[in-house]
Amino acid sequence: MDDRYSRQILLPEIGLTGQETLQQKKVVIVGIGALGTAAAELLARTGVGNLCLIDRDVVELNNLHRQILFEESDVGKSKAVAAKEKLTRINSSIRITAEPIHLNLENISLLTKADLILDCTDNLETRFLINDFCKKENLPWIYAAAIKTSGYAMPILAGQPCLRCFLQEASLDTCDTVGVLNTITCSIAALQATLALKILLGKKIEPYLYYYNLWNQEFKKIKINKKEDCETCNGNYLFLENKKGNLKKAIRFCSAGKYQLFGPKPSFKELKKKWEKLGQVIDDGVTLQFREISLFKDGRALIKAQTEEEAQAIYSRWIGN
């Protein structure tokens, strides 16, 4: 056994047997932002044997105050790829895969072989998609969210209340409109990672929604009961049946002034050649970056624009209709 884990093996909650168990587990982390970077680093250092990192976005300068795996040299890179690079340097003995994609109906099967899924996303539609998929496939997952100075975490297991038993509508607040304290994102991620360890080790977990306001040092355990008319608990998986989880043509990110547009898989070689005649192009193997555009191999484009119409115009001008 690697000496790096010697201090946590001393804990009766883990021990040698528990450490060996962790090294056989696979965790998928959806969203490699403030919560995802912290949770991923904790689990990597703990020795969870297989981590899959899913994120659709690239690193921006305003991420650095709270997304603790990233540094200035990562700005413009895929978050999933940059995080994999950092985590591999932290622990080269575990398997880490990066998926720089937008999780949707077409690729949700990536979660199938996971022992646990961590929701570290910033949008309700993806959370509900994860909720429906995990409920249908009997996969355990952990919801987490943080904004301003407070946050939530909740383990959601087979036979227990699901996300839609207590959460129906999204708040209009985002990190870009009301801000977020970096210590609360780290604290909620630590709580999420601890719940993850308990689930992976087979410990008993109660369906509590944990609330923590770090600024006021207020912590609550809120008992959640199954909602009788919950669509998901009653087997109506609206976000899997293409009734709620349609892939949109354009998605406005939590980050102000950025849109995600979808198109056919591009020819990187041809576009790079064309764009290089007009200005600087950065090719990191995963994205092509040119002016306001970060283009991914799956056909997604992240475009800096103030309106959807402006983003569509930029896409048409530089990528095509």
Average pLDDT over residues 199-206: 94
Q: Which residue has the higher pLDDT, 52 or 58?
A: 52
Give me the pLDDT at residue 170, please: 52
pLDDT of residue 122: 83
Q: Check whether 202 has a pLDDT greater than 90.
A: yes
Terminal-residue alpha carbon distance, the chain: 55
Over 90: is that where the pLDDT of 220 sits? yes
Average pLDDT, the chain: 90
Identify the band that residue 287 occupies on the pLDDT scale cut at 50, 70 and 90.
confident
Phi, psi values for residue 246, rounded to 5°: -60, 140
**Which pLDDT belongs to residue 214?**
96
Query: In Å, how far are 171, 187, 203, 207 from 212, measured between CA atoms?
Result: 17, 9, 22, 16
Residue 85: the pLDDT is: 97
* Higher-scoring residue by pLDDT: 182, 319: 182
pLDDT at residue 245, as a whole number = 45
- Do 99 and 80 contact (CB within 8 A), yes or no? yes
Residue with the bigger pLDDT between 170 and 221: it is: 221
| Position 175 pLDDT exceeds 70 | no
Digit-coded pLDDT (tens) for 236-247: 999 898 654 444
DSSP string, 276-308: HTTS--EE-SSEEEETTEEEETTSEEEEE-SSH
Are the C-beta atoms of 84 and 53 separated by less than 8 Å?
yes
Average pLDDT of 232-257? Answer: 73
pLDDT band at 176, cuts 50/70/90? low
DSSP-derived secondary structure letter, 49: S
